Structure 1
């Protein structure tokens, strides 16, 4: 437990789960708590240290969304709109976030809703319904206690004296008497939770984050206008990046609407870049997903991840005939914006005797490992992985097949080459100590080429498989 001073009294600032089971609560006088629990261990509260720890946790949450704000003494706001799909949707984001925080030894409750007020309420008072469907926050809030509206203890006590203990009762009560008795606080919190009143939040910015921001005298929303705004933002940000000798690896674009909600887009680049036109084109691919609502009043672009990027001489572009790394990086970024980053890869060689193990996927611009495939061992243009079983007939025991059936199609072999014998990799498992494959390159009477193998000598009952198509 921790204690702090409130006026002339010493009161409990926080209690652990064991103390709660004994009846102790924050705000209870320390003398009363010590009378209830013998040898109660109480340490001095450290509000500044707690806030610093909360700020560090909030900075860590920037990995989930670009907009994060503190809610002292123990809360964090995360604007997940536009970022949840990066984590498998809202449910996936919530599950991963809470799991990782609990793995760090913390207790956590979380909720997602259309408004900050509704999310705060369900996170703390309705843990069984952590995700509120859009437009249903009113029905979800009705059974919750009035303190779920973030009202002060004195206000909540005054409402209880009037018999108003649930938010649903507040919704059914005329507002004029509430304002007369309690001021604007009750109705404002109610409207903020329901989305009828905006609630601006003091979002954090990562340290050393370069950011460009534009505010508009009149709300905007037309796609072509958004595209021009993005062009201006990327030009402003590129200028700051150039002054610091940096290139962007991750960019976060945020449109703030007049209703207080935000639309966010995030993207990454394959290489550090500060080419304004290139960065603007990447966002242009995704501007169609932005919902401007009743209009956008502010736009900001932040380089949340940067890397050093030295200047280059444009006149020497590709003078040696080699591909320009920066141009390749821009090409990869454009393809990733259209197809998705998970669909781009490069095939890299691996030291392995078995064909299906001799290649792996790496990032498109990953540096070369120095390995190459043997030039004297031709391989098919397309590898079938895993190999597909075929029925084959060979005229001699160790000869290539004269005919085989693959996917219900009969193929008569006109030409063949082989065998190329490949042994199992005995150091991987005992099952491969005696494994052997005899590979044949064959061409049928239509000119189609195949790569076949038998998984044991014919005398040992080897079976036939198709492992590749075409010619390298």
Structure 2
């Protein structure tokens, strides 16, 4: 087996929507209280440039940077983001495990051939994470625990199955391994600095002083004892909430939050090979009431760009009754997307562009303002179509050829010796197509339709009233 660990050092920061004006980044730090002391957990680049570091007291950090903004840590939002990243990771392997508080484990031994080798897979994962605005350290090892340690330490060099031996622990600093503070201090007091040094100590003495857990971790890292992991199972639907650090009444700010949520949704859908056709945004307002709005996407998609373009059109006509302090995105009805078929004639891109345009117009103008044409199960040409606001099932097309345009009202034609004229004699091109219908609603018609051609080659759709012999022009072919 071969495990790839992903460690997200900025997960507490990534889980929050802090900077609502990304073109002008502000210094932010996520803080957490331990007893009476509040310390920095992680900060963004703008804060790091001002000397803010993880582990500093909040008061010290604010003394270094007066404009530093602090946000309390939100473990529930971190877990939600980690779950969505686990679902995203299913696009690479069916075996994904959570590695709390900020990591994932992917068993990749069986998928390296598909991705054409380990280096290419690692680059692909990093590239797709960067597209979401995320960064992860990667660790590669034959055991999940060792891979996790390597990722947390930032050791990019992989350890392959044939290289697993006690010597691989020599370079791992104990001070940076995820050990309890009590164990770390105890090992430091003994003068131990590297994980490999523990292997030279008698196990009985090690267990007596630090408990059996430390020996168990060493054995699991080296594959000497089993390390069972619970496989991640993705949820049946998507739901993610982002709490704003302060209430806002700016629709533009909500657009930034929507982008974050839709990016996560796209990753969730990508990992499961699914698409979504309808989105639900729920806004939690400062006055504690909530409001919601739907966004129709026209057809199932998992494109973050398409979903964002349509959602922004809907947000543009949103009127906020009160400032918003939280946004939830839900996608309950998911659709299987098995991949786009081969586009032999180059029309698929145009169709996708039209679908996106239609969905954006509906989002901007409202569903009742955007209509399309659909066929109706009625043989009478005047009643064989209708304007619809939403696509639905349509009857099969009629067998006969139909013109591109129908006249608002049939135009009476003159005739000479029984031959219809329209700027000259019209030559009939086919046998009559008889249409008799409408007796049930009192608008009965009985007509014999023909395709006809004038001297210049223009084709028309004409008919003769049965029983009367009069000719009418009803349509024109392109």
Q: If the length of structure 2 is used for normalisation, what is the TM-score?
A: 0.42
Please, what TM-score do these two structures have when normalized by structure 1?
0.42
Q: Which has the higher contact order (CA 8 A, sep 6+)?
A: 2
